[in-house]
Structure 1
Amino acid sequence: MKTIISLLIATLITTPALAANQEVQSFSKAKKILEKQVYNNHRTTLYCGATFDAKKNVTPPSGFTTTKYVKRAKKIEWEHVVPAENFGRTFSEWRDGDKQCISSQGKAFKGRKCAEKVNTEYRYMQADMFNLYPAIGAVNALRSNYNFTMLPSATSDFGSCAMKIDNRKAEPPVSARGRIARTYLYMDGAYKRYTMSKTQRQLMTAWDKMYPVDTWECARAKKITSLQQSENNVLKSRCKSVSIW
């Protein structure tokens, strides 16, 4: 019996954490965990560096402006850096619906709500905390599901916050590019359903090299690893390379 127990313990110790989220499948729960246990001592948004309080009220940086979604600019929202639609459309429930996706009025529906209702794998991907970051609501709304690229001719849509959006594309501020790149690389490696285009991979690989990890990015990764019980091998390797893991 002792031998069996010892083998079980050894297995638990040596078995690596999964490379994809298999712990949290509720998007709402994921957001609450991030608010209370990850960003509780680092309440700063990804794109604009705005601060926010425990009630999600935003204090925008000096010079921040927006003419759209003004009410949403007062609160933070949790942004899927890799948009949910980018992986969601690989699910048949998103594209075509499902027999279980019938509203209370008897109407069939599809898209994100149907995938979330029916497919457990989709819920895990949607709730993966490595892909969720706080953003000013208006910025989240205007970024929408647009891919990231470089927009040299565009000007900022948000005053002092250098987030550019033009022609259904977005260019993030320099301060966010490394974190965005490593999030894309993580999602591409962790989930077979999601694959970056060649152009997107080239950009993210370049940003990953140009904008290395910092102490907060590594601390965030450690917290999420513990809470989600899954590894972000991209971040772990980058953090180890600079001795902050």
Structure 2
Amino acid sequence: MSVFYTANVCGFQKKMEMARVQHYRLEGSPSFTSHINKVRKSIVKRILFIVGLLLAFNATAANLHIESFSKAKKTLEKNVYFDHRTTLYCGASFDTKKNITPPPGFKSDKYVKRSKKVEWEHVVPAENFGRTFIEWRDGDTQCVNNKGKAYKGRRCANKASKEYRLMQSDLYNLFPAIGSVNAARSNYNFTMLPAEPADFGSCQVKIDNRKAEPPIAARGRIARTYLYMEQSYSRYRMSKSQRQLMAAWDKQFPVSAWECKRAERIEKLQGNVNNVLKTRCH
């Protein structure tokens, strides 16, 4: 038994030694060097390809072209909503001069003047992502008025940060709303307020304790807008409870033909794909 074991060990050692010799011979040969270089080039190409895909995805995931909020609103009005002049929350119609025709039973006890005009609402409020910018929180050297006084907040972020301007002007996050509804919603997060009455008569928008509940017809579009903004901009993150609510609304209220058509138009104008809607519209 011991002789057999010793013989096997010796045989194995000889094979290992021969393999090492063969390796050293090959390592110095031109064919071996050429093979290694080909392998290295192949690995580098694959890495560059993967990096390119990631960069391409990121480049098309967010708004990279429209910096002006004013331009964004005009673009939506003229090139997206030209044949669908209907507000998000209340289903009110509006004309080319921004005049609102409210639905029957609509009423507004506050912001009465604003209830007569359409405004463009950030579904994900600008403040929600704006506060992630240092220019919003602390100001910037560029943010000094003509009297030498420094300022901060939205005005400073808009002046000093291109990234903020792009987020603020993202067409996918802007929807038409009756001015008074936009004002009342403010920057409040959405939730369910089952015990609260509607604040605008027949338009079932509810506002209470700095929270807002949208009408059923708007919930799916709202949810997919929140999901898009979180997916497209790394600096914006929902809370766990907010994400759960949006995921539930997304499933409960599927996309409509208009929601998909709107996304197609915006993609052509803004240049980036809304991947949330892309997967749900096809």
TM-score (norm 1): 0.91
Alignment-derived partner of residue 194 in structure 2: 152
Alignment-derived partner of residue 25 in structure 1: 67
5 Å matches for 1:214-233? 214-233=256-275
The count of corresponding residues between Structure 1 and Structure 2 is 227
Match of 2:252 among 210, 219, 223: 210
Match of 2:145 among 87, 103, 121: 103
Pair 1:81-2:117 in alignment: no
Pair 1:194-2:236 in alignment: yes
Alignment-derived partner of residue 86 in structure 2: 44
Alpha-carbon distance between aligned partners in 2 of 1:148 and 1:76, rounded to the nearest angstrom = 21
Structure 1 or 2: larger helix share?
Answer: 2
Offset at residue 107 of structure 1 (A) = 1.2
Alignment-derived partner of residue 208 in structure 2: 166
For 1:109, what is the secondary structure of its paired residue? Answer: coil
Q: Which amino acid aligns with 1:165?
A: I
Offset at residue 104 of structure 1 (A) = 1.6
Offset at residue 141 of structure 1 (A) = 0.3
Alignment-derived partner of residue 7 in structure 1: none
Alignment-derived partner of residue 90 in structure 1: 132
For 1:18, what is the secondary structure of its paired residue? Answer: helix
Cα offsets for 1:166-195 (capped at 9, x unmatched) = 000000000000000000000000000101
Q: Which amino acid aligns with 1:164?
A: K
For 1:34, what is the secondary structure of its paired residue? Answer: helix
Alpha-carbon distance between aligned partners in 1 of 2:218 and 2:82, rounded to the nearest angstrom = 20
Match of 1:138 among 176, 180, 189: 180
Offset at residue 140 of structure 1 (A) = 0.2
Gaps of 5+ in 1: 1-10, 241-245
Offset at residue 228 of structure 1 (A) = 0.1
Match of 2:154 among 112, 117, 141: 112
Alpha-carbon distance between aligned partners in 1 of 2:71 and 2:216, rounded to the nearest angstrom = 30
For 2:176, what is the secondary structure of its paired residue? Answer: strand
Offset at residue 105 of structure 1 (A) = 2.0
Alpha-carbon distance between aligned partners in 1 of 2:197 and 2:92, rounded to the nearest angstrom = 19
Alignment-derived partner of residue 121 in structure 1: 163
Alpha-carbon distance between aligned partners in 2 of 1:59 and 1:200, rounded to the nearest angstrom = 32
Alignment-derived partner of residue 98 in structure 2: 56
Cα offsets for 1:136-175 (capped at 9, x unmatched) = 0000000000000000111100000000000000000000
Alignment-derived partner of residue 179 in structure 1: 221
Alpha-carbon distance between aligned partners in 2 of 1:105 and 1:32, rounded to the nearest angstrom = 32
Alpha-carbon distance between aligned partners in 1 of 2:72 and 2:154, rounded to the nearest angstrom = 17
Q: Which amino acid aligns with 1:98?
A: D
TM-score (norm 2): 0.79
Cα offsets for 1:83-135 (capped at 9, x unmatched) = 00000000000000011101122211100000000000000000000000000
Alignment-derived partner of residue 3 in structure 1: none
Alpha-carbon distance between aligned partners in 2 of 1:55 and 1:105, rounded to the nearest angstrom = 36
Greater RCO, CA 8 A, separation 6+: 1
